[in-house]
Chains A and B, each alone.
Chain A
Amino acid sequence: MCLAIPARLVEYVDDERQYGKVELGGVRRQVNTSLLIGDDSAEPGDYVLVHVGFALSAISEAEAQETLRILEEMGPAYTDEVQQIRQSEAMEVELVGPDYRTRAPT
């Protein structure tokens, strides 16, 4: 629950309700983007840290890739979180990649 996972911001969807679409772990889903202002502003294509459905801060792509690599090595703590995101009911979730459990090791 405490994990913050890097995700790529795809687009801003709803300015009034402050939602954007991000891609992470083979899933495209909406997250709340209210906190992405000031030092943490992000443009589509940038990476953000996502925590319980909210984009918490903007991060660099290098940082995002490195963190994702470490998270994947972490095993269940990460995969459980991604599984919960996949099952999350709040906002439309599109599956755009294979489930991490069926993906061949890279």
Chain B
Amino acid sequence: MKFADEFRDADLARSLGARITAEAGAKHWKIMEVCGGHTHTIFKYGIEDLLPSNVELVHGPGCPVCVIPMGRLDDGIALARDHDVIFTCFGDLMRVPGSDGSLLDAKAAGADVRMVYSPLDSLKIARENPDKQVVFYAIGFETTAPSTALTLLRARAEGLRNFFVFCNHVTIIPPMKAILDSPDLRLDGFLGPGHVSTVVGVRPYEFVTRTYGKPVVVVGFEPLDILQGVHMVIRQVLEGRCEVENQYTRVVHDDGNPKALEVLAKVFKLRPHFEWRGLGFISQSALELNDDFADFDAERVFTVPGIRVADPKSCQCGEVLKGVLKPWECKVFGTACTPETPIGTCMVSSEGACAAYYNFGRFSRARDRERVLTKGEAEPVAVTPIAVRAG
């Protein structure tokens, strides 16, 4: 049965690809997928191979681990190392290099750093260790922020005094605006993030259509979803429409999840500004705890360095996150920077564009395509051959 399904899917995917090829014409299309989950699917399933060479997918900033700037990571490491706390975070964060080692290194050096699956795990650790202070390093877009909010509401209801959140939650709209305002990149439209939209709905993207005249299609995470999304963006442009469309209606409601939005508003407020890796400071782009929750706010309770740290010179994650540079165009991609020894965040998270390229070996094909597109106007990018891991 599984094979029959796969055959049907492959067939459908090919016919969608053929339709896109026919309708895309000769124009060079640039469509950004905002979400790291989409990037992962695109490389895992070789979606780009089904698209004509003039339809280019540009990978966006929607990977929460990737966009955390090094200074905020150093703050977390300092919290874990210099204070007598139990420091908890998602596994993805453990190996991200700070300016002086990673959280894993801090753990090896004796800090009590624990990986958790859910903020509720951190809460449980706090409950069971009343004499210790427990910090949860919160990251994620609007998909994850309600979980932190609900955990904080729970902590307050239980009267826990030893649970703290170091909040790094970010929001999806401001970086999209920053990218649209950037002179470096000309885009024809966006594939909007599926799971973020289960929380925020589809209306927040309307400014993209109204102010910037670019279509947005909210899509799911399966290969066919993405192909269909690309087709819908192209269709809109060709038909002279510019709308926010929802391809992922089976999961995303237009108004999002009102309860999730309510708890976000109860627990968080917008930060005046927040630094993003590669995008710099963006105003009102991240969340911090409301004054009501000041006692739970690790930033107010503990002293952290709070120093802005520049990325290593060799690392070009910033350009990759903005979609200006392809992962394989980075000088250290696949040589000094690999998933085993990452220099930048895009190589650490499995949703980062660099890790996705590296793991699924699509970069060689994409590189060939780039040569065709530039038609010899530019020198081919030098890429050192590397061993490609099986996907």
Q: Report if A87 contacts B (CB, 8 A).
A: yes
> In chain A, what residue has the closest Cβ to B253?
A39
- Which of B203-211, B255-263, B298-306 has 4 or more CB atoms under 8 Å from chain A? B255-263
Give bound CA distance, A2 to B120, whole Å: 16
Asked if A2 and B143 sit within 8 Å, CB to CB, the answer is yes
Complex: how many Å from CA A37 to CA B154? 18
How many residues in A have their beta carbons less than 8 Å from beta carbons of B?
40
Interface centre among B36, B140, B198, by most A CB within 10 Å? B198
Q: Which of A35, A67, A69, A75 has the most CB of B within 10 A?
A: A35
Select one of A39, A56, A59, A66 contacting B143, CB under 8 A.
A56
Interface residues of A in 3-26 (CB under 8 A from B): 3-4, 17
Tell me if B251 is interfacial: C-beta within 8 Å of chain A.
yes
Least distance between B3 CB and chain A CB atoms (Å): 11
The distance from the CB of B232 to the nearest CB of chain A, in whole angstroms, is 19
Contact bitstring B148-183, A, C-beta under 8 A = 1, else 0? 001000100000000000000000000000000000
A84 to B350, CA, bound (A): 15
How far is it, in angstroms, between the C-alpha of A87 and the C-alpha of B199 when the chains are bound? 27
Within the assembled complex, what's the spacing in Å between the Cα atoms of A40 and B91?
29
Interface pick from B10-18, B98-106, B121-129, B312-320: B121-129
Say yes or no: is B65 at the interface (Cβ < 8 Å to chain A): yes
Asked if residues B117 and A87 are in contact (CB atoms below 8 Å), the reply is: yes
Interface residues on B, range: 35 or more
Give the residue of B63, B91, B118 whose beta carbon is less than 8 angstroms from that of A90: B118
Number of A-B contacts (CB under 8 A): 124
Q: Which residue of A lies closest to B199 (CB)?
A: A56
Write out, one digit per residue, whether chain A residues 42-53 have a CB within 8 A of any chain B CB (1) or not (0): 000000010111
Complex CA gap A59/B195 in Å reads 12
Chain B residues lying within 8 Å of A69, measured Cβ to Cβ, are 2, 5
Kindly provide the distance from the CB of A63 to the nearest chain B CB, expressed in whole angstroms.
5
Q: Are A57 and B257 in contact (CB under 8 A)?
A: yes
CB of A51, distance to nearest CB on chain B (Å): 6
Partner of A53, one of B118, B199, B349, B351: B118
Secondary structure dominating the interface of A: mixed
Q: Which of A1, A38, A90 has the most CB of B within 10 A?
A: A1
Contact B118 A66 (CB under 8 A): no
| A74 CB within 8 Å of chain B | yes
A35 engages B121 (CB within 8 Å):
no
Best-surrounded residue of A3, A17, A77, A80 (most CB of chain B within 10 A): A77
- The listed residue (B40, B91, B258, B263) touching A84 by CB distance below 8 A is B91
Q: Compute how far the CA of A61 lies from the CA of B86 in the bound complex, rounded to whole angstroms.
A: 40
**Residue numbers in A under 8 Å from B375 (CB-CB):** none
Contact indicator B37/A2 (Cβ below 8 Å): yes
Interface string of B359-391 (1 = CB under 8 A from A): 000000000000000000000000000000001
Output the least CB separation between A38 and chain B (Å).
Answer: 6
- Contact: A35 with B146, CB < 8 Å? yes
What does the 1/0 interface line of B25-59 toward A look like (CB < 8 Å)?
Answer: 00000000001110011001000000000000000
Report if A88-B117 is in contact (Cβ < 8 Å); known contacts: A1-B90, A49-B251, A57-B251: yes
Chain B contact residues, CB within 8 Å of chain A: 2, 5, 35-37, 40-41, 44, 63-65, 90-92, 115-121, 123-125, 139-140, 143-144, 146-147, 150, 154, 195, 198-199, 221-223, 250-251, 253, 255, 257-260, 263, 349-351, 391
**Interface, chain A (partner B; CB < 8 A):** 1-4, 17, 32, 34-35, 37-40, 49, 51-54, 56-57, 59-60, 63, 66-67, 69-70, 73-77, 80, 84-85, 87-91, 106
Top 4 closest pairs, chain A to chain B, by CB: A53-B118, A90-B120, A88-B117, A90-B121
Q: Please list 24 pairs of residues, one from A and one from B, whose beta carbons are closer than 8 Å in the complex, sorted by A's number.
A: A1-B144, A2-B36, A4-B198, A32-B150, A34-B150, A35-B146, A38-B259, A49-B198, A51-B147, A52-B118, A52-B140, A52-B144, A53-B117, A56-B195, A59-B250, A59-B251, A60-B250, A69-B2, A70-B223, A80-B350, A84-B117, A88-B121, A90-B117, A91-B124
